[in-house]
Amino acid sequence: MSENKKNNWSRRDLLKGIAGVPIVGSVWWAGASKGINNTQARDSILKTLNINASPPPPSGPMAGDPIRIGIIGFGIRGPQLCRALGFGQKSWLTSMTEAAKKNPKDTRLSSFLEQEHLNVHITAVCDLFDVRAQDAIDSFSTDEVKVQRFGTHQELVESNIVDAVVIATPDHWHAPIAIAALQAGKHVYVEKPMTHNIKETYALKDAVEASNVVFQVGHQHRQTQSFLTAQDVVNKNILGHVSLIQANTNRNDDNGAWQYPIHEKANPNTVDWKQFIGNAPMVPFNSEHFFRWRKWWAYGSGLSGDLMSHDYDRVNCILKMGIPSSVVASGGIYTHRDGRNVPDVMQVNMEFPDFSTGSSQVAGKEKGMTMVYSATLGNQYGRTTAFMGHDATMEVGNSLTIYADSKSTKFKEKLISEEMDSNIPIYQYDPASGSVDGVTSATAKYFADKGLLWTYRDGKRVDSTHLHLREWLSCIRNGGIPSCNIKEGFEEAISSHMGGLSYKLGRRIDWDKTKQEIVRVEGYNLDEVLLENKEKIT
């Protein structure tokens, strides 16, 4: 700038000096308008939806004398349940410590250590494999409490060193052990499916109703925040009439297909084979049957009881639609032709012709719903669980997302005014948006995506099973009824058995709502059909 121009403003200088000001004004106006519009649209949508995503009040205090727990079944699920109670196996603690050192993102150990103390003692274990029973004794015994092994569940439930039992055995032992425990006055937490056949489903129901102890079935997703939020969404009729629900199993690895490791020390001397067989047909000792029991109808329940039971209860806890009026299933053994007799590909259509989640249209126009469960153990494409309503679609897993339907009646005006866009979620709950979780295997991811592994409370990741067990313990201590009691367990068990029966018989299975029983099929004893250790009954 030349000396003689100093302090002498030309019009050109002034224009060049302030030229940025109108740009600032324009950009500010554009940003502020967009920001305000976004905020108003978001507030308006949230006000319209009025979804209450706040977590439930925690179950009651864990004060008082420690509850003494006996573990029956210490294979895969048993140790997981013990961890949820606050007891980690020594081998698990060692491997998790190493995993956390290798990968700082692996939060499994820290989550376990931060878990709330539930004021329980593990005092007894019953497992038919010596190595596993000894593992529980070595891992959980303390100077104060020595874990005692019982050779049979009957001895354990009748002992005076347990107040409550956790049952994580093969399916064919769930009901007999639960009934024995209830009759002995012990509180019961039993894994899913609640029972292995129809007859014992009624027997267990009678036993729970005749007892005055606390009974809980292990469907831990009932504690997951997204499912609690989904209940609020349905109660407020945001989805309109839901005519179709799709739920899926998508797995593609050995672990997901129940090809579990076989322990090298398992033999007739270390495994109580006769007791394992129980009511199943006697066969010579077979370590594959012992460790991979889910692959045979004699001990397990196939996709319908093993995994569809999860999905059925995931939907039932949201909709409370009860037992389907009819079930049609199909499928086959298409991905793991390894001697198993349960299907590895299965589709189950469940009909609920009288059920409705509500309507935004003319009264009487909509009624009835189908739930489709579709499973393969040979592909891992991430199909989601979707509730498909006239007004919106809700995807539920560990997160929850709602999309308005472009032809919705309820949201018609907001869609026309472009306040809503059917391609953009109108509501999203994502517990992991504030953190990223390490998931270590395909099967773990499958369960995590479904909301079966963990949830969040006050921003902290918590094991859903821990909360589910806590609820059970709180009911024991403080009274109350757990969220997955006998009514819910009965509905889950009957629906699962209808799926298994339909698959094995290759025909439709009906439910008589008045008589509260599965409609008989001429020429067949349905319990025998379920238990018969064959893929299909002809």
Partner 1 sequence: METDINLSKIGRNSLVLLRILIGWHFLYEGVLKLYNPAWTSKAYLSSAELLRPLFQWLSSDAMIHLVDNLNIFSLMVVGLSLLLGLFERIGSVFGICLLLIYYIAHPALPGASQVGTEGSYWIINKNLIEATALFVLYHIPTGSYFGLNLLRKILLAPQTK
Q: Which of the residues 449 through 468 are near partner 1 (CB under 8 A)?
A: 459
> 57, 104, 364, 479: which one contacts partner 1 (CB under 8 A)?
104
Q: Distance (Å, rounded) from C-alpha 399 to C-alpha 535?
A: 36
Q: With contact defined as beta carbons under 8 Å apart, do 518 and 509 qualify?
A: yes
Q: Distance (Å, rounded) from C-alpha 390 to C-alpha 406?
A: 9
Tell me if 47 contacts partner 1 by CB under 8 A: no
CB of 295 to partner 1, least distance (A): 37
Q: Which of the residues 5 through 24 are near partner 1 (CB under 8 A)?
A: 5-9, 13-14, 16-21, 23-24
For partner 1, give the closer residue by CB, 39 or 361: 39
Which DSSP state fits 441?
S
Tell me if 114 contacts partner 1 by CB under 8 A: no
Give the strand pairing for 187-190 and 164-167.
Answer: parallel
Tell me if 433 contacts partner 1 by CB under 8 A: yes
267: number of CA atoms within 13 Å, CB side?
Answer: 3
Backbone angles phi, psi at 142, to 5 degrees: -125, 175
For partner 1, give the closer residue by CB, 36 or 244: 36
For partner 1, give the closer residue by CB, 48 or 159: 48
Q: Read off the tokens for 165.
A: 């039992």
The site map against partner 1 for 300-339 (x = CB under 8 A) is: ----------------------------------------
Helix (H) or strand (E) holding 412: helix 412-416
Tell me if 30 contacts partner 1 by CB under 8 A: yes
For partner 1, give the closer residue by CB, 11 or 337: 11
CA distances from 210 to 173, 182, 183, 215 (A): 20, 9, 9, 12
Q: Which stretch binds partner 1 (CB under 8 A): 4-12, 81-89, 312-320, 514-522?
A: 4-12
Choose among 519, 186, 467, 197: nearest CA to 326.
Answer: 519
User: How many residues at the interface with partner 1, by CB under 8 A?
Assistant: 36
Tell me if 31 contacts partner 1 by CB under 8 A: yes
CB of 334 to partner 1, least distance (A): 34
CB of 431 to partner 1, least distance (A): 12
Tell me if 212 contacts partner 1 by CB under 8 A: no
Which DSSP state fits 143?
S
Q: Read off the tokens for 415.
A: 């869609």
Tell me if 353 contacts partner 1 by CB under 8 A: no
Token pair 């517990």 is found at 431
Q: 515 burial class (0-12, 13-18, 19+ CB within 10 angstroms)? A: exposed
Binding site for partner 1 (CB under 8 A): 1, 3-9, 13-14, 16-21, 23-24, 27-28, 30-32, 34-36, 38-39, 42, 104-105, 433-436, 459
